[in-house]
Amino acid sequence: MAVSVNLGKALDKAYENSSLEEILAAPPSALAGLTEKHDVLLSELGIKTVQDLGSNKYFAVAGVLVALSGKTG
C-alpha cells in the first residue's frame, strides 16, 4: 500500500523533494530548525544521520515519556 505524507514544514527546503531513503541518510540538519552546528554536536553522540537520530534509544525513551505525560491523571 502506498502512503503519502507531506513533510514540507518538517524538512529543510533542500530535502523537501527527497526520497525517504535520502532523508534517512541525510544529516540531522535536513530537519527544519537544525543547522550544521547541530550536526557537529549530535555527531559527538554518534548521531550522524536522520535515521540515527530517530532510532536513538534515549530520544525514543524521551518521546515516549512526553507522550505518556499527556495520559497521566
Gyration radius of the chain's alpha carbons: 14
Q: What is the pLDDT along the chain (73 residues), one digit of tens a residue?
A: 777 777 778 999 999 999 999 999 999 999 999 999 999 999 999 999 999 999 999 999 999 999 999 887 6
Residue 6's pLDDT is 77
pTM: 0.83
Report the C-alpha gap between 34 and 10 in whole angstroms: 10
DSSP the chain: -------TTTB-GGGTT--HHHHHHS-GGGBTT--HHHHHHHHTTT--SHHHHHH-HHHHHHHHHHHHHTT--
Report the C-alpha gap between 67 and 36 in whole angstroms: 28
